[in-house]
């Protein structure tokens, strides 16, 4: 985080990418989309948008279909991954609907062209949307099998010149072990990219962490379940873990 976060009235970053899992959208259902949960997350995004921050969003598809699991059950991996990409488009459209119900102009941009429902990915056009204060939801991953939405998020963050990647999870940062299982789990305030990789902390996959490291893109890991947490961190408040070059 910049040194002046605590004292500054303005947000710590001007343009960020928020990465959330598809599972974050299913609430307590165990599968699919839970509209009240989607709406709650949309309100969190709006609160940051209202600060004047330009926002990109990448959502996983695990609440509908996860390519790796499909492959493990005997489905051909490339086909399974493409099915997972289509699931991310469904989630992106749901988030667009929730955001626009809050009067936040949003564009869904897919790495796989499907002109009837969303825009194709064109970098300069996406940058222009951000400059016009529209939220850009990047769907369909990178458009290639064998790449996760974590890697897609890091790629898009670099292409859009985002100042940081925010990873919304169910816990308030990165721990040395699962805090939902181990009461003695210790939270990191800061951790280096190399520590994340060598200690296998699993906040994002190795390709995503390496890509962030190679481009010196900080990753802020926080709880998406904490009301106001996303906006609070941008104002220098709250609990989180910062991944960077330390």
Domain count, the chain: 1
pLDDT in tens, 40-65: 999 999 999 999 999 999 999 999 98
pLDDT in tens, 173-225: 999 988 889 999 999 999 999 999 999 998 999 999 999 999 999 999 999 99
Window from 8-17, 99-108, 180-189, 226-235 with minimum mean pLDDT: 8-17
Q: Six-digit token pair at 75?
A: 């489905």
Residue 7 lies in a domain: no
- Average pLDDT for residues 226-240, to the nearest whole number? 93
pLDDT in tens, 99-118: 999 999 999 999 999 999 99
Residue 165 lies in a domain: yes
Whether the per-residue pLDDT at 73 is higher than 90: the answer is: no
In sequence order, which residues have a C-beta less than 8 Å from that of residue 232 and are 6 or more positions away? Answer: 226, 238
Residue 77 lies in a domain: yes
Cα 194 from Cα 102, distance rounded (Å):
40
Residue 8 lies in a domain: no
92-to-19, 57, 201 alpha-carbon distances in Å:
12, 9, 27
Residue 9 lies in a domain: no
pLDDT in tens, 133-185: 999 999 999 999 999 999 999 999 999 999 999 999 989 999 998 888 999 99
Residue 116 lies in a domain: yes
What pLDDT is recorded for position 10? 84
Q: Where does 32-144 show beta strands of DSSP type E? A: 54-59, 106-110, 119-120, 135-139
Residue 63 lies in a domain: yes
Q: Six-digit token pair at 113?
A: 């062209």
pLDDT in tens, 76-90: 999 999 999 999 999
Task: Please answer whether residues 151 and 7 qualify as being in contact, where contact means their C-beta atoms are separated by less than 8 angstroms.
Answer: no
This prediction's pTM: 0.92
What pLDDT is recorded for position 2? 52
What pLDDT is recorded for position 55? 98
CATH number, domain at 213?
Answer: 3.40.1160.10
**43: containing domain:** 15-244
Residue 62 lies in a domain: yes
């Amino acid at each position: 985080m910049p040194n002046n976060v605590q004292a500054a009235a303005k947000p710590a970053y001007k343009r960020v990418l928020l990465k959330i899992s598809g599972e974050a959208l299913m609430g307590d259902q165990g599968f699919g989309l839970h509209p009240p949960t989607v709406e709650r997350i949309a309100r969190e995004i709006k609160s940051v948008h209202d600060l004047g921050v330009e926002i990109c969003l990448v959502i996983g598809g695990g609440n509908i279909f996860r390519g790796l699991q499909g492959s493990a059950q005997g489905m051909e991996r490339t086909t399974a991954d493409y099915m997972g990409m289509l699931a991310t488009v469904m989630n992106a459209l749901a988030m667009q609907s929730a955001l626009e119900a809050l009067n936040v102009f949003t564009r869904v941009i897919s790495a796989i062209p499907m002109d009837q429902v969303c825009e194709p990915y064109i970098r300069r056009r996406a940058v222009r949307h951000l400059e016009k204060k529209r939220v850009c939801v990047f769907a369909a991953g990178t458009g290639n099998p064998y790449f996760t939405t974590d890697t897609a998020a890091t790629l898009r963050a670099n292409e859009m010149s985002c100042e940081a990647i925010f990873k919304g999870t169910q816990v308030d940062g990165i721990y040395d072990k699962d805090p939902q299982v181990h009461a003695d789990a210790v939270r990191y305030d800061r951790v280096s990219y190399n520590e994340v990789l060598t200690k296998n902390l699993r906040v994002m996959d190795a390709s995503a962490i390496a890509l962030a490291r190679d481009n010196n893109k900080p990753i802020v890991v926080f709880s998406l379940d904490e009301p106001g947490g996303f906006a609070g961190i941008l104002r220098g408040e709250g609990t989180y873990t910062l991944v960077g070059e330390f």
